Structure 1
């Protein structure tokens, strides 16, 4: 395929830079930067505003690292973090990485079940949380799956309960800064991030230090984050796009970024653009669709004063009409990008000035420098232009490839390398044209993509099945103009229960409280039976219509 501009980009400096060993990951993310420079501007729903410098992050994380060290955290130890966006989250992960520890992100919308599985599977024996999320560690309403505080040490921000938790900020008192960071190599893990699966529990993606090379490549080539930019990635750092490119990536570059911890609204988004002179913005398509829907109602406060230079989208395909709207109302096109938890971003409409000719509206773009992507047919053979198949990464020709496999899950890892070690299979169907532009067709499994979140039906179905009225259930994604897809559950009730709106609401609330606020089924349809194969496997494709 033709992608001459991509091939001309030399990624060898990145490869060399991240060969290691390093005095620590934090040397790259914090310590080497100008201590006076603003790392991020913070704002929350209560109106609290504060800016933090790299020097402040260094001082606080050196202190907290010694706190964690006193609790037994050392190289390779897992530490789970259940915190909203903010200084405590960033200080915590920097402290973990100073010790060579492994960060296990926990999305704050998760309920007790989702949290318990990730903590148990990862082997984390320290959890950092806050008062608002602390009760989720106590287990489900039925009293099961509670975190054993006698085995797992818990640190809580703004502790307000009588328990054995260590209070976060109080722990900093009378503590000396960590004297030495832990040396790490490019193959050492620094993150285990769980991604949804269509069957079975979520899979732990092992992220090695060398992944930083690919993260920096995307920040520079895909997003074109430059010196002087004020960068805002709206994604939550409990997920790959927000963690890799909303927290780690900006820290790598040593620039200034936005940490906004409040519910989304179009009016507030525009205000943040204006208040902080945001120049480079990335978000899921649902954000742009919401902006388009509400634009005329909220732009009377001077949207023309925006300083935006770059708009990017990731998480699900971007509609062409949304791109047209952005060009008309924001004066900029939105560039669509493609990636996944297991590898980060690998196909982009690149913003970098040397790659401007790799932009084509309606496509996902071309392979990112450092990666060779292709399409495989059902036999595992590479096919030519305009032929449908599965997106695969040619690992032999992808020097920035870093995926180490799923944590303690060899079976699922093998599924990603079905045709040998050369090709990594993404699980997404696509085709490419004569110039190497890829066009998304869909998932070849049952993953649901809603508002930028990847949702596996298995966890949702498990949560629904725990409701006393439910006999069977199947969960699918259905199209939605704003969110891309909505989670819909088909539910078969037990004999003594009758379908009703009230029962549907009870089931929804049960999933919200026990699994996650972002995964609950927004639509419930009661049915007499589910379509199945002769062997009893649910045929979700028939339910999607």
Structure 2
């Protein structure tokens, strides 16, 4: 049963999946009040606890203390309610790069009882319209540098009645900032229920109609008090930096929820390239970094020194499985542990992870406290240790799609079926094999692409790579590798044969890539995930194939 909602606009709760189609939630380890507002918990509460003068957010040339953040967000919340007519339950879209102003808008809208939909600056009008229409959004807050696409979106989605600009550069010269100047620095936040919806996250890998995941005020504290506290051991002395967009839950957790829950500092980068992140780590003496494996590899390839990143105490890798060569190289060159984990937008954040004192290569670790995981077959029967199957997980967070029939595919018998193929070893550790739809079946053999990628990355010629299965009349599928070479290596047949032989000597020979294509760069999302579907269905622009070695031994 739900707690009585504070939402006057009941659209979000009305469009939750029926209780019987939701996963089983395991809340025993998290005891929260029935009513609280997470915007208060991540802002005002820290001031009350004595953190007011500590730096909460840094970015775009200035720092904001918790006291300043509290007053700033309260002023903005007044604008939302007093001037823009927001009532609890309304959806508010925020469009911005990673900067303190975006976090302030998110916290303010949350205090006002709105359901926030954070979006990336890379989205175009058509993509924005899909989000606006599905979530029935009437108000958008937008960095003034990114207004054009949103105005185009408004033409196709007239339900978006109001677009209000804010200044992401900290000059505070836009409409939202001007309205906030005259507002009080105190605000009585909406008395939301713990199970009122606070956040609507759209999945990054969606094809067709976008999927929107619904997360409660409670859920945002769960991920901090679970993963961040148990696994990362976060304290007020930590400084966070990273590349994932705040529009994705991986970034929102790692670069906003986690630091703000514990009185720590988040350094936000609008352009989080690997060199920029290395500079920021040094400048701010960052202790925790969040990014994808490809970014860690790029950081290691930088000509600058890596042993001067000594302020770091942990590097968090997610988004793609962490290849063993990157794991080993990072630890060797920086002396900092790098811990792999798996999360999902549907689950809000990471639910299986290595630990600071228990991490190993080619391993995702064990469930975060409060979560249970197992490997099952297509009939939901648990399979023996060492057998690859479907990952099923349940815990204090889980999948709730907004009015979407695909809920029944993700939640089966109370378990979240994440779409990942894993196996669990005899010691209880979980190991990623592939996405369920990315397993390559060649001549009757099941081959996990990430294992082949890891073998290729161990060769000094390989800068980056991605492996997919492609149709083959004789074998059904063959393994095909797309390789970006390091400088000094020729894109020719001899190089392709060298890489094929290397894989045969590293892992079981039947897994080697029977086709190798050299390309200039891999197609990726803004979170660093390789878009393998673009390699599987290449266009002229997607895969600038230069030379192919297609040995059919």
| Correspondence for 1:310 | 314
Greater Cα shift, 202-211 or 325-334: 325-334
| Correspondence for 1:167 | 175
Report the Cα distance in structure 1 between the residues aligned to 2:311 and 2:174, rounded to whole angstroms.
Answer: 43
Native 8 Å contact 1:225 1:231 kept in 2 = no
**C-alpha spacing 1:151/1:203, structure 2 compared with 1 (3 Å):** closer
Instruction: Describe the SS at the equivalent of 1:109.
Output: coil
Q: CA deviation at 1:480?
A: 5.3
Greater Cα shift, 179-188 or 98-107: 179-188
Matched, 1:327 2:335: no
| Correspondence for 1:215 | 224
| Correspondence for 2:361 | 361
Report the Cα distance in structure 1 between the residues aligned to 2:339 and 2:375, rounded to whole angstroms.
Answer: 22
| Correspondence for 1:205 | 213
Q: What is the correspondence of 1:226-241 to structure 2 with a 5 Å cutoff?
A: 226-241=235-250
Instruction: Describe the SS at the equivalent of 1:41.
Output: strand
Matched, 1:20 2:34: yes
**C-alpha spacing 1:327/1:166, structure 2 compared with 1 (3 Å):** closer
**C-alpha spacing 1:518/1:336, structure 2 compared with 1 (3 Å):** closer
Matched, 1:347 2:361: no
**C-alpha spacing 1:151/1:213, structure 2 compared with 1 (3 Å):** closer
Instruction: Describe the SS at the equivalent of 1:415.
Output: helix
Deviation digits for residues 202-242 of structure 1 (CA, Å, limit 9, x no counterpart): 20000111212133311112222223122223311011200
| Correspondence for 2:548 | none
Q: CA deviation at 1:479?
A: 4.8
Q: What is the correspondence of 1:135-146 to structure 2 with a 5 Å cutoff?
A: 135-139=148-152, 146=156
TM-score (norm 1): 0.72
Q: CA deviation at 1:258?
A: 1.2
**C-alpha spacing 1:369/1:90, structure 2 compared with 1 (3 Å):** same
Matched, 1:438 2:430: yes
Correspondence for 1:416 among 395, 410, 413: 410
Matched, 1:78 2:73: no
Report the Cα distance in structure 1 between the residues aligned to 2:272 and 2:360, rounded to whole angstroms.
Answer: 32
Deviation digits for residues 372-406 of structure 1 (CA, Å, limit 9, x no counterpart): 1000101111122101101001x3xx3x2x22510
Native 8 Å contact 1:198 1:445 kept in 2 = no
| Correspondence for 2:52 | 35
Calculate the aligned-residue CA RMSD, in Å. 3.2
**C-alpha spacing 1:166/1:309, structure 2 compared with 1 (3 Å):** closer
Instruction: Describe the SS at the equivalent of 1:311.
Output: strand
Instruction: Describe the SS at the equivalent of 2:374.
Output: strand
Q: What is the correspondence of 1:39-118 to structure 2 with a 5 Å cutoff?
A: 39-43=56-60, 49-70=61-82, 71-118=84-131
Correspondence for 1:298 among 301, 304, 328: 304
Instruction: Describe the SS at the equivalent of 1:94.
Output: helix
Native 8 Å contact 1:138 1:147 kept in 2 = no
Report the Cα distance in structure 2 between the residues aligned to 1:305 and 1:518, rounded to whole angstroms.
Answer: 27
Q: CA deviation at 1:169?
A: 1.2
Correspondence for 2:398 among 392, 395, 403: 403
Deviation digits for residues 227-279 of structure 1 (CA, Å, limit 9, x no counterpart): 3122223311011200122212211122112112225142x322211111111
| Structure 1 unmatched ranges of 5 or more | 1-10, 44-48, 160-164, 451-476, 483-507, 528-545
| Correspondence for 1:184 | 192
Report the Cα distance in structure 1 between the residues aligned to 2:226 and 2:364, rounded to whole angstroms.
Answer: 17
Alignment coverage as a number of residue pairs: 427
Report the Cα distance in structure 2 between the residues aligned to 1:445 and 1:241, rounded to whole angstroms.
Answer: 22
| Correspondence for 1:247 | 256
Deviation digits for residues 490-527 of structure 1 (CA, Å, limit 9, x no counterpart): xxxxxxxxxxxxxxxxxx9xxx9xxxx99796894469
Correspondence for 1:122 among 114, 127, 135: 135
**C-alpha spacing 1:518/1:139, structure 2 compared with 1 (3 Å):** farther
Report the Cα distance in structure 1 between the residues aligned to 2:373 and 2:216, rounded to whole angstroms.
Answer: 21
Matched, 1:270 2:278: yes
Q: CA deviation at 1:131?
A: 2.3
| Structure 2 unmatched ranges of 5 or more | 1-25, 440-448, 454-479, 486-522, 542-553
Matched, 1:337 2:378: no
